[in-house]
Amino acid sequence: MTESISCDLAVLGAGPGGYTAAFRAADLGKKVVLIEKEEKIGGVCLNVGCIPSKTLLHAAEIISDSKNLESYGLRFASPEIDIDKLKRKKNEIVDKLTQGLRSLAKARNVTILSGTGKFADPKTIDVNLAGSVTSVGFKQAIISVGSKPLMLQLLPKDDKRIWDSTKALELPFVPKRLLVIGGGIIGLEIAQVYWALGSEITIIEMLDQLIPSADADLVHHLSEELGHRYKAIHTSTRLTGAKSQKESLTLNLEGEKAPSTIEADAILVSVGRSPNGRDIGAGDIGIVVDERGFIPVNRRQETNVPGIYAIGDVTGNPMLAHKAVYEGKVAAEVISGLKSANTAMTIPSVAYTDPEIAWTGYTERQAKEEGIAYTKGAFPWLASGRALSADKSKGNT
């Protein structure tokens, strides 16, 4: 059975960029349909990324602080951790925020359509939900379909002890030994949660430092601190093989200081994300999609097909929620006839590790590589009264 509806703007994907675009366009007078394949709107960030991870990181911080305040004359018993209750708290926060988004959509008369959307032609998206198809005719459309975690072909298939970030944030169990493949922001934040919950952590990173996109000066203090907490951190190391056994997982490694084999009770794979640009029939209607699945756009967020725009992860790195939000606003305003363009010069990045890391603009390495003259200034937290009073003096600005 096929039903047909029409609108001024169809937004395919209800993540941070998608719902921002939908709400902004509705505020500017457009009739909007927001299409989402998942049961809940909000995208990866709200449902299985930023918000769940920050909730768990808050709990991890409390657990860690409870063990480190003896020098202040405060002594606590070891915390009793109720994993099921922690999961419920995480889910309650997510549900509250998704309900809030639905209320915002309702207040703006934005129609939310559940199902998997694919382009049928340059003016129609077919939305399939359990075999029932709704054809959405639109004047203009915004692609905001995000990305998915990358997995490694070397790893055994269908082993429930091998997780991507989505699965890890579900807290399936707390392994005695957790191996994290990938020393980027996602892997390090989740490792911090499981370390606080009692797991022994080993990290392997293919490049020569953790969080390769950040300045080495910033990462140094974090690497030093994690080196004291975790069993091992192996940089310049790659995975060469893996074997699934009943009692554990065995991995083969290649690296100067890495062991040739290592065993783990669970593995978190956090080696990046892949855009979903090839999953929506975009190429079939003439939209340019590159070999990796990214959709090129100009500063007005326009694709090569008139009337169709793209925002967020699917348009390229960095894959960050706040970048998608900004691009969603730009696209909605362009569609509504306003003079708007993506003029962002720098995009901030944050790692909610302990210590935290944040930066924006060029890194020192990038400036050197591009021959850009720069002046460097650094202030050690050891000289900060606020940092010392909070016992957080390992770091710099």
What backbone phi and psi angles, to 5 degrees, belong to 83? -60, -40
Whether 138 and 11 map to the same domain: the answer is: yes
- How many independent structural domains does the chain possess? 3
Last residue of a domain, one of 216, 249, 271: 271
User: Exposure pattern of 270-295 as b/e (b: 16+ CB <10 Å)?
Assistant: bbebbbbbbbbebeebebebeeebbb
299 domain residue, yes or no: yes
Whether 284 and 311 map to the same domain: the answer is: yes
Whether 84 and 137 map to the same domain: the answer is: yes
Q: So what's the pLDDT on residue 248? A: 96
Contact predicate 55/352, CB 8 Å: no
Whether 145 and 283 map to the same domain: the answer is: yes
Q: So what's the pLDDT on residue 90? A: 97
- Tens of pLDDT, residue by residue over 71-128, are 899 998 889 999 999 999 999 999 999 999 999 999 999 999 999 999 999 999 999 9
User: What Å distances lie between residue 96 and 52, 56, 101, 254, CA to CA?
Assistant: 12, 16, 9, 45
Q: So what's the pLDDT on residue 396? A: 86
Contact predicate 138/10, CB 8 Å: yes
* Cα(88)–Cα(125) distance, integer angstroms: 36
Q: So what's the pLDDT on residue 280? A: 98
The SS3 assignment for 62 reads helix
| N-terminal to C-terminal alpha carbon distance within the chain | 60
Q: Are strands 111-114 and 32-36 parallel, antiparallel or unpaired?
A: parallel
Which residue in 283, 273, 282, 66 sits closest to 184, CA to CA? 273
Whether 322 and 374 map to the same domain: the answer is: no
Whether 199 and 308 map to the same domain: the answer is: no
Neighbours of 128 (CB within 10 A): 14
Whether 135 and 86 map to the same domain: the answer is: yes
Contact predicate 332/341, CB 8 Å: no
At residue 186's C-alpha, the angle toward residues 53 and 56, to 5°, is: 20
Whether 8 and 134 map to the same domain: the answer is: yes
- List the domain range (segments joined by +) for residue 116: 2-149+274-335
Taking the whole predicted model, whether its pTM rises above 0.85 is answered as yes
Last residue of a domain, one of 271, 297, 327: 271
Q: So what's the pLDDT on residue 212? A: 94
- The strand pairing partners of 349, in sequence order, are 359
Whether 281 and 247 map to the same domain: the answer is: no
Whether 17 and 143 map to the same domain: the answer is: yes
111 domain residue, yes or no: yes
155 domain residue, yes or no: no
Paired tokens of 124: 């129609």
Whether 229 and 301 map to the same domain: the answer is: no
| 53 sits in which H/E element | helix 50-67
What backbone phi and psi angles, to 5 degrees, belong to 277? -65, -20
145 domain residue, yes or no: yes
360 domain residue, yes or no: yes
CATH number at residue 218: 3.50.50.60
282 domain residue, yes or no: yes
340 domain residue, yes or no: no
Which residue in 224, 190, 228 sits closest to 209, CA to CA? 224
DSSP annotation of 166 reads H
344 domain residue, yes or no: no
Last residue of a domain, one of 249, 271, 293: 271
Whether 175 and 248 map to the same domain: the answer is: yes
* Block mean pLDDT (10 aa), the chain, length 397: 92 98 99 97 95 97 89 90 97 97 98 97 96 96 98 93 97 98 98 98 97 92 95 97 94 93 97 97 98 98 98 96 98 98 91 94 89 92 91 87
